[in-house]
Amino acid sequence: MQINFYILPPTKKLLNFVCQLIQTIIAKSQDSVMILANTTTVASLDALLWSFDPVSFIPHEVLTSHHHENIAKSPVILTDNAQFLQNFDGIVINLTEQTFVDLKANKLLEIVDSDPALTAQGRVKYQFYQSTLPHFALQIFQIK
């Protein structure tokens, strides 16, 4: 599994960047995308994905903790339930504080917002992956 860290500048809004990233993934890859976030962020991202691009939308589906199984058919899935990641083999965008060691995903994308507390959280995650999963490829992308 490859783990990519995207470091955002103060001028870049987190959810707008996530929408851009999803658009890029869909355009360049056959992989499905699952975004893990808290319930509030899932709701905000759900609304934004319908209106982010003035001439199109990003088809997606929301699976919350209330769903008992992952039955999504959409190429983009938003969820607040980390259990849905267990059998997912696409690209995971993690917007939570959680770290993962046994995902089947082929890529894990960690977005680090410029807020000082979130930057510190991103450093902790990077150090965790570096020490716990030394055989995984870690890449950092400084977004401008």
On whether the CB atoms of residues 89 and 51 are closer than 8 A, the answer is no
- Is residue 113 pLDDT above 90, yes or no? yes
Instruction: Note down the domain range covering 89.
Output: 2-142
Which two tokens mark 45? 């991202």
Structure confidence at residue 116 (pLDDT): 94
Query: Total structural domains in the chain?
Result: 1
Structure confidence at residue 135 (pLDDT): 85
CA-to-CA separations, 74 to 46, 59, 77, 90, 126, in angstroms, rounded: 13, 7, 6, 12, 30
The whole-model pTM stands at 0.93
End-to-end CA distance of the chain: 26
14 compared with 133, residue with greater pLDDT: 14
134 compared with 67, residue with greater pLDDT: 134
Residue 12 maps to which CATH number?
A: 3.40.50.10110
Q: What is the mean pLDDT of residues 8-28?
A: 95
